[in-house]
Amino acid sequence: MKKIILGTGLMLMALHSHSQTKASFSFSVKQAIEYAMQNQNDIKNAVLDEKMAQRKVKEITGAGLPQINASFDLKDFVEIPTQVMPDFISPTVYQINQYGFGLKPRAELPAGEGIPVQFGSKYQSSAGLDASQMLFNSDFFLGLKASKVFTELSTKALQRSKIEVTASVSKAYYLVLISTERAKLMDANIARLKKTMDDTKALYDNGFAEKLDFDRLTVTYNNLLVEQEKINRLLNVGAYLLKYQMGMEVNADLTLTDKLEDVKFDIGTLAQSDKFDYNKRVEYGLMETNFTLAQLDLKRQRYSFLPFAFLYGSLSGNAYRNEFTVFDTYRPWYPTAVVGGTIKMPIFTGFQRGIKCQEAKISLEKAQNNMDFIKKSIDMDLAATSASLTNASSSLENQKKNIKLAEDVVSVSKKKYDQGVGSNLEMVTAETTLKEAQTNYLNAMYEAIIAKIDFDKANGNLK
């Protein structure tokens, strides 16, 4: 019994431990984007919007198919309706039929008011089946075309959402890589300065260095520790941002597999042709689709004078009972059947048709203006991102040279200080310059990466 209890307890502990285990992922930037395409809320909603648009096409198509309805109605006349008839019945006939027709005694009738009579049965029911088929409706056919164009619009909106998510995830991914590299460089700087500080402390203890040299290094070391804490906090924030952009739980463990040294900047791709294919930009496609919708709306208003025609038919039956035996098949149901057709044509609509056509023309002009505007915006975007990438790449190359020079200065200063021909202040200054060069280099690296992403987005290369 004890073994069973012990085994059960261990199993429950194992299950609890498993439930508390965090999800772990190792992603390249491409894999991070693929994960976002499946889990990011904006993408999910855009996919649902696309599905909704597809269902809307089917809904509108269904309006052109036969419409069939069935009905059943049952009435219990607690008080049968009364009608007043002219007083044309002679007293003798009235007396004979007084009880057969439910007539009130003649003496109770007000003079000149006629005769109140109740016709009908206590229970009445009806059952029917009706159908209709639209033959022609210009609004329906143009609306069907518009719904298909609207589906294209939702598809392009999904594509735009994917492009935005791709850019956002890429920027957040490389921000984490930059922050990680910055943390590594800071750790290396602290370790190097700590060794120098310890060596200086040993020299001071033996009377070969001044306390001022040791204190100066201690201040620099403490400042680096504070900055290290800030970098680590920013690294955590950047990781949370990346998970948020991907649609991942913030508590999940995420390891980035790409390396900064693998990032390439092909400056040769910056050459722009004189004629850019605007269809490569999804924003232009959205404006183009809106223009098509505006054209269809104008056509719908112009064709609103056309007639509307449909066929219809119905078959129904009625039953009248004084007892509740509506479903008694031995008593008759009285059928009614009808078929017909209707044609409606607007003749005068209070000048609404002309006004609506004018409104549709204005909307079409606005759509055309938006297409012209998006072209100019794309041209400006191309020029701006090209210039930004060129500047960022040039700055990155310069900062790469600066960091190499700063490392050489630190090395020389350290050797001079160790040989007793250099000052402690010179070495601290060199360390500070190196840290600034490293910071500038990483900032330039991130700006170059962002500029490359924006450049690819402007050229329609992000999918």
Burial call 216-228: b when 16+ CB within 10 Å, e when fewer? bbeebbeebeebb
Given a cut of 90, whether residue 420 has pLDDT beyond it is no
Domain boundaries, the chain: 22-65+135-307+352-458
How, if at all, do strands 115-118 and 253-256 pair?
Answer: unpaired
Q: How far is CA 133 from CA 144, 193, 308, 312, in A?
A: 17, 88, 12, 6
* Residue indicated by tokens 């223009």: 291
What is the pLDDT at residue 102?
53
**Residue 79 main-chain phi, psi, to 5 deg:** -130, 115
Give the lowest-confidence range in 10-24, 194-208, 375-389: 10-24
Instruction: Inform me whether the pLDDT recorded for 313 exceeds 90.
Output: yes
pLDDT of residue 311: 93
Task: Average the pLDDT over 21-34 and give the result.
Answer: 88
CA distance 90 to 93: 5
Tell me: pLDDT of 95 over 70. Answer: no
Is the pLDDT assigned to residue 64 strictly greater than 60?
yes
Q: What is the pLDDT of residues 245-273, one digit of tens each?
A: 999 998 899 999 998 888 776 655 555 55
Tell me what pLDDT residue 446 has.
92
Percentage of the chain exceeding pLDDT 90: 44
Average pLDDT for residues 59-65, to the nearest whole number? 87
Report the range out of 318-322, 345-349, 414-418, 441-445 with the highest average pLDDT.
441-445
Superfamily, domain 22-65+135-307+352-458 = Outer membrane efflux proteins (OEP) (1.20.1600.10)
The pLDDT of 26-44, averaged and rounded, is 94
pLDDT value for 189: 87
Q: Tell me, what's the pLDDT at 435?
A: 87
- What pLDDT is stored for residue 1 in this prediction? 46
Confidence of residue 167 (pLDDT cuts 50, 70, 90): very high
Mean of per-residue pLDDT scores for the chain? 84
Residue located via tokens 């290094």: 217
Q: Which residue has the higher pLDDT, 20 or 35?
A: 35
Residue 330 pLDDT: 73
Burial of 320 (0-12, 13-18, 19+ CB in 10 A): middle
Half-sphere exposure (CA, 13 Å, Cβ side) for 415?
Answer: 6
